[in-house]
């Protein structure tokens, strides 16, 4: 196994999150646009290659200013993923690729002058469990629900990071149901905007759909959330911690319920 920086040869594999055989083309498109924008903002990507030069793992990390956490002089790991699918090359986990990627990323950001590495994980054994990072020497810095923020300082003069907290709610249109999707491009699995847009369109002009691009740091700071889905002022999904996320049918059902409530209020007025 060897660790390399992302090259043009492996970019399609990276954009597909190692899922070469079956990836939503629109999701890849979102991620491609995000990558193009973030290349000049400090995005770093490394891949783990096996003896056959297949990409079996990936890690991507950015300066914390472009992540959903607050801190200074730190880099933020958005994703560490080792091929765990049954399809394609099969499960490649448990062979040390994740640890090798993490070590390479830590060494990389220290050369860049970072004072620490930050990552997020889940408080239960699902994708990217926080416990895995803790085994690699990371400690918990903050927590919101099942979302755990962990970090490893490289300097004694650095302050621990903290999660951004939600800072605003959607603007609603009187007399209509408002569907608001906060969209980030770094992970195809976080974007529900297409399902939400399609579900909202089923109800015609009774429903307003809005998409908010949180890949813009100013917009992210304004909302304090990276990925979320609102139906009126009810948040029905806040990202990966709400698992499984609602898709078209579930979103459509929620919109229908809101319209029924609105109709009942009109009838009783």
Phi-psi region of 73 (alpha: psi -120 to 50; beta: other; left: phi over 0): left
**In whole angstroms, how large is the CA radius of gyration of the chain?**
20
- Does the pLDDT value for residue 65 go beyond 70? yes
For 138, the 3-state DSSP assignment is: coil
pLDDT digits (tens, 9 = 90+) for 80-93: 999 988 888 888 89
In order of their start, the domains of the chain are 2-163 (3.40.630.30), 177-268 (3.40.30.10)
Length of the chain: 269
pLDDT digits (tens, 9 = 90+) for 96-144: 999 999 999 999 999 999 999 999 998 887 778 999 999 999 999 999 9
Say if CB 179 and CB 199 are below 8 A apart. yes
pLDDT digits (tens, 9 = 90+) for 9-36: 999 999 988 987 765 555 667 788 889 9
Whole-model pTM: value is 0.89
């Amino acid at each position: 196994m060897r660790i390399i920086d992302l090259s043009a040869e492996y970019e399609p594999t990276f954009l597909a999150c190692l899922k070469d055989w079956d990836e939503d083309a629109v999701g890849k498109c979102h991620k491609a646009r995000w990558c193009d924008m973030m290349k000049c903002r400090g995005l770093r990507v490394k891949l783990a290659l096996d003896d056959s030069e297949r990409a079996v793992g990936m890690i991507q990390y950015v300066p914390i200013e472009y992540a959903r956490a607050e801190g200074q002089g730190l880099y933020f790991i958005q994703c560490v993923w080792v091929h765990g699918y049954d399809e394609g090359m099969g499960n490649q986990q448990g062979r040390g690729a994740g640890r090798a990627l993490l070590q390479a990323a830590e060494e990389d950001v220290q050369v860049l002058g970072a004072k620490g590495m930050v990552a997020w994980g889940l408080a239960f054994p699902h994708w990217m469990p926080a416990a895995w990072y803790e085994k690699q020497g990371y400690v918990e810095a903050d927590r919101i629900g099942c979302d755990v923020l962990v970090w490893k300082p490289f300097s004694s003069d650095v302050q621990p990071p903290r999660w951004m907290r939600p800072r605003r709610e959607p603007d609603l249109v009187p007399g209509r149901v408002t569907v608001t999707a906060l969209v980030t491009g770094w992970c195809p699995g976080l974007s529900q905007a297409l399902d939400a847009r399609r579900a909202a369109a089923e109800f015609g002009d009774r429903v307003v759909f809005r998409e908010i691009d949180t890949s813009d740091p100013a917009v992210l700071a304004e909302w304090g959330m990276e990925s979320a889905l609102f139906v009126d002022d009810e948040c029905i999904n806040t990202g990966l911690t709400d698992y499984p996320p609602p898709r078209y049918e579930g979103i459509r059902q929620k919109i229908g319920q809101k319209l029924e409530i609105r109709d009942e209020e009109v009838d009783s007025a």
